Amino acid sequence: MQSKFLAVGSVVPWAEPDVGAVATQSYANPRYGPDGLALLRQGLPAKEVVRRLTEADEERESRQLGVVDAEGRAASFTGEECHDWAGGRTGDGYAAQGNILVSAETVDALAETFEAGTGSLAERLLDCLAAAQAAGGDRRGQQSASLLVVERDAGYAGLSDVVVDLRVDDGAQPIEELRRLYGIHDALFGKTPREEWLALDENLRSEVQERLGRLGYESLGDWAGVENLEERVDGDGSIDPVVLEQLRRKS
């Protein structure tokens, strides 16, 4: 999400792997997040979750809500008192909505870019934000942006369900800054397919040890831990090309 609102990522997005995702917008009701996930855990479809949350809320006409359940079913709600332009679109695996927008083209760009997207979910979502901004975006301007992706045991060290949780709380070009941060995140925590790793033959092993020595380290693991690249080191028979590139750059 992106908004002319301080730290939008602290309010809008909620997600749980194998359960679903919730976005609470406009005059956001933060209770929609945990309450919506609780309903999704019961196996209720997205449409029913939206109905239950909004019907129980006396201020629903000033709210927006998007829900995607574990089956990819989606529902979006925009109250009649939300500031123009306000509305949403849904499709397989996504709910896209916005308010105080330049026009409906912003939400159309979100939806169409997602439907046509390739790459990881995080990359697709970043492309959606960029397309939405190019189509007009928030008519008040830009301030903050956030990217949240969850997957069971796919986060740090395989011990977290949070794959990506990045925020730009206040900035002139938050979407561009969010993409920059994601680039750093991917370099540190991304996964290079094992078949693309380089065998540490005699020549390459000698180069790696020489470069480590210049930096004052005896092992690749020790250096990688200091550089926050430990997730990309596994054994000493081969090396992730991303790690090698960083080592060459540093030494």
Structural domains of the chain in order of their starting residue, each with its CATH number: 2-189 (3.60.20.10), 194-250 (no CATH)
CB 83 within 8 A of CB 10: no
User: Is 236's pLDDT higher than 90?
Assistant: no
Rg, the chain, Cα only = 21
pLDDT tens-digit readout, 85-119: 999 999 999 999 999 999 999 999 999 999 999 99
For residues 48-68, one letter each, b for 16 or more C-beta atoms within 10 angstroms of the residue's C-beta and e for the rest, the string is bbbeebbeebeebebbbbbbb
The label of the residue with tokens 């930096």 reads 215
pLDDT tens-digit readout, 133-187: 999 999 999 999 999 999 999 999 999 999 999 999 999 999 999 999 999 999 9
* Helix boundaries (H) for 117-171: 121-134
Please name which of 167, 158, 143 lies closest in space to residue 13, comparing C-alpha atoms: 167
Please name which of 63, 66, 59 lies closest in space to residue 83, comparing C-alpha atoms: 63
pTM for this predicted structure: 0.92
User: Is 30's pLDDT higher than 90?
Assistant: yes
| Helix (H) or strand (E) segment spanning residue 225 | helix 220-226
User: Angle formed by the axes of helices 46-55 and 32-41, to 10°?
Assistant: 140
| Helix (H) or strand (E) segment spanning residue 211 | helix 202-215
CB 107 within 8 A of CB 97: yes
User: Is 55's pLDDT higher than 90?
Assistant: yes
